[in-house]
Structure 1
Amino acid sequence: MARRICVFTGGRADYGPLSAVLQALHDDPEIELRLLVSGSHLVSQQGSTVDVIAADGFPVSEQVPVVLGSDTPASVAKSFGLGAIGYAEALERIAPDLVVLLGDRYEVLAAATAATFQRIPIAHICGGEVTAGSTDEGMRHAITKLSHLHFTATDEFRRRVIQLGENPDRVHAVGSPGLDTARTIELLDRAALSAAVGVKLRTPTIAVTYHPATADPVGSRAGIRGLLAALDRIGPATVVFTGTNVDLGGPTADHELQRFIDCHPGRMVMCRSLGQTLYLSLLKHADVIVGNSSSALIEAPALGTPTVNIGTRQEGRPTSVSTISCTETPDAIGSAIQHALTAEHRERSRTGTSPYGDGHAAPRILRILKTTPLDGAFKKRFVDL
């Protein structure tokens, strides 16, 4: 009998890394795949990326809108509540044998809570990580404690999950599935990418992905100001910005970025939702990626692209030799960008590797999802070290 597995996705932050896992599940005749889609996927300002999921050939079983028209703390808390209600109803209809969740966002925690009350076992991808500058940090560890099967990107992250009291037999270091996509996807050439984003890709081309550091709002605002001041000094570079996540302060940050872009017509552009092919193509062809996104630390090194990592949002994550971390001041950011563009650092980046695995996580995850017994999954006990 096929095992019915429901995969939850709340936006591009988890859909990109999940895509290789989804493909593996979709192609396996012993798996009955269901998709629960929510969050920014259903927001027009974020590109209505639920259409991308359908175009990729994955079955969208349930859609649960939760994002309110405000980015205040109360609105995010209310969105969490809407999610818990909607996900409970959706999971009741899907009736899965197992729910797969990735990451650390509030939508994912709401899905984990709904599954827990319905006694549906949870498999969690990307536990054990540390991002000190984001409120997602606590949510990630909470999801870990609600989960029954764990897939971590590194052995270090596996040790942390075990430190939280999880059974070592159910914690598997498999690598980051986002690297599977980076390894296998057919990327656009430079001309096609230029046409797709709507701006000529000069040298240097700078990709910018900057999200609010939700646990450090003062540093987050300083980071945006420092980033824009540094970019203003760079000279005639092409700068391609991606939109922020649906986070506290996200719309405010987007507006500030857009005002800056409007002052530099012809060489700067905002692409709110690129999708996997365009985004990874941008990472590949960019001379440097600047910001505070996890993709700049995980996928960019695998593509040989230098990274400038700003501020505290990703503090605690392992980094490659291609990554230069800096504070939020214009001088620090500008200096880091200039160093990243040197021939020496570009060569170091070209020959470096990502510390998050080998790009073969999805088949490992599939095998374990298929073979792990689910009987008695809820009989968890805290395992002391």
Structure 2
Amino acid sequence: MSVSHPLKVLVVFGTRPEAIKLFPVVAALKADARFDCRVCVSAQHRGMLDQVLEIAGIVPDHDLDVMKPDQSLDALTAVLLTGLGRVMDAEKPDRVMVQGDTATAMCGALAAYYRKIPVDHVEAGLRSGNIYHPWPEEVNRKIIGSMASLHFAPTDVSREALLRENVDPARVHVTGNTVIDALHWVSARIAENPDMASGLAVVEARFAGKRIIGVTSHRRENFGDGMENIAEAIRRLAARPDVAVVFPVHLNPNVRKVMNTALAGLDNVALLEPLDYPHFARLLGIAEIMLTDSGGVQEEAPALGKPVLVMRETTERPEGVAAGTARLVGTDVTRIVTEIFTLLDDKAAYESMARAHNPFGDGTSARQIVELLANEIGQEA
């Protein structure tokens, strides 16, 4: 059944990772006459979010600007739920789309559910099996999964996780991960205009001839002893003459205070301000190995043939571990250093990870999602 008016889809996000993974979907929706795409950002992350919006050419229709220093999760949840509810009351969307596992995504889904608006979940079905690792993301995505209308699972593993939770198989679609769409897009842009990512030239010159380890870290469950251990591991890595560490340091003071205290002034460590998306893609390109507690890096780095060591005890992306593109190393100092040195010194070990098949998609996820959404509402092109 076709309809005579475009379907209004409110896309809700608030952090840099969400923006990266949703801008290809926003672009596809806006290019399709079957849809009226509206964008609401919470700005749960402010500066890092704005970088992606600018690069992707997205001007939000609504901006809640909720970011405050050291706000508690319950305070953040309250302001998100009420703020997003007001936007939905004003827009009256036909559907709401969220991505991943943030507080913004969870509150966007809950506010839509309270209004009986169907919720579509991009990157659905990720599960670690431990509600405190990652925390609070594991519970956020389980909450979203309990009320979503359409589940866009990135892999068969994610689909199976949803089916084990008794989600209707007809509501689950394997699309790959939109982060691969985004990485292909920005890589092509950088190839056309290298100046987009020229800000790392000084670091590249400084570390010419060294083997670069890229690091990202921001997970709440690593705050405290975990961050201290990560900092100590980086100190030991950087003591090796042929190694350099490039570390864009997250703005969260629980990360920043530890890393600045432990690592500032080391010859082989570059502590950078958070990178915009083109420069982060460039870091993935120049790094030999990525050391991270992030989720997205587990998907992005393998697309460029870079091994990923994950500083967590569990991962909701077991596909990478199973495929051999990622390895869990936790936050034990000795294990982190040993695993990095093995990859640096054992060519066969490195190649087995670098050449493993990336299980997270082929760069067509956004288009698949839009077509599945069109099919769901019965619209005809």
Q: Matches of 1:177 and 1:40 in 2, distance apart?
A: 21
Question: What is the CA distance between 1:27 and its match in structure 2?
Answer: 1.5
Instruction: Find the partner of 2:259 among 257, 260, 263.
Output: 257
Which blocks of at least 5 consecutive residues in structure 2 are unaligned? none
Q: Is the partner of 2:111 in helix, strand or coil?
A: helix
Q: Is the partner of 2:377 in helix, strand or coil?
A: coil
Question: What is the CA distance between 1:362 and its match in structure 2?
Answer: 1.1
Residue in 2 aligned with 1:373? 377
Question: What is the CA distance between 1:318 and its match in structure 2?
Answer: 2.1
Q: Matches of 1:26 and 1:275 in 2, distance apart?
A: 23
Question: What is the CA distance between 1:267 and its match in structure 2?
Answer: 4.5
Instruction: Find the partner of 1:268 among 264, 267, 270.
Output: 270
Are 2:196 and 1:199 equivalent residues in the alignment? no
Are 2:353 and 1:355 equivalent residues in the alignment? no
Residue in 1 aligned with 2:10? 6
Q: Is the 8 A contact 1:292 1:314 kept in 2?
A: no
Identity of aligned residues (%): 22
Q: Matches of 1:103 and 1:167 in 2, distance apart?
A: 19
Residue in 2 aligned with 1:153? 154
TM-score (normalised: structure 1)? 0.85
Q: Matches of 2:28 and 2:111 in 1, distance apart?
A: 25
Residue in 1 aligned with 2:40? 36
Question: What is the CA distance between 1:332 and its match in structure 2?
Answer: 1.0
Q: Is the 8 A contact 1:10 1:107 kept in 2?
A: yes
Instruction: Find the partner of 1:113 among 89, 110, 117.
Output: 110
Alpha-carbon distance change, 144 to 15 in structure 1, aligned in 2, over 3 angstroms: same
Alpha-carbon distance change, 187 to 31 in structure 1, aligned in 2, over 3 angstroms: same
- Mean Cα deviation higher: 175-184 or 196-205: 196-205
Residue in 2 aligned with 1:338? 341
TM-score (normalised: structure 2)? 0.86
Q: Is the partner of 2:39 in helix, strand or coil?
A: strand
- Mean Cα deviation higher: 107-116 or 77-86: 107-116
Residue in 2 aligned with 1:209? 216
Q: Matches of 1:296 and 1:11 in 2, distance apart?
A: 15
Aligned residue pairs total: 362
Q: Matches of 2:332 and 2:189 in 1, distance apart?
A: 34
Which blocks of at least 5 consecutive residues in structure 1 are unaligned? 376-385
Are 2:93 and 1:91 equivalent residues in the alignment? no
Instruction: Find the partner of 2:368 among 361, 364, 369.
Output: 364
Alpha-carbon distance change, 318 to 277 in structure 1, aligned in 2, over 3 angstroms: same
1:1-385 correspondence runs (5 A): 1-42=5-46, 47=47, 49-50=49-50, 52-70=52-70, 75-131=72-128, 132=130, 133-135=133-135, 136-185=137-186, 186=188, 188=190, 193=197, 195-196=199-200, 198-200=202-204, 201-202=207-208, 203-214=210-221, 220-221=226-227, 223-235=229-241, 237-244=243-250, 250-264=252-266, 267-272=269-274, 274-312=275-313, 314=315, 317-319=318-320, 320-342=323-345, 343-373=347-377
Alpha-carbon distance change, 292 to 349 in structure 1, aligned in 2, over 3 angstroms: same
Q: Which amino acid aligns with 2:151?
A: H
Q: Matches of 1:165 and 1:269 in 2, distance apart?
A: 45
Q: Is the partner of 1:206 in helix, strand or coil?
A: strand
Alpha-carbon distance change, 219 to 130 in structure 1, aligned in 2, over 3 angstroms: farther
Q: Matches of 1:16 and 1:93 in 2, distance apart?
A: 26
Q: Is the partner of 1:284 in helix, strand or coil?
A: helix
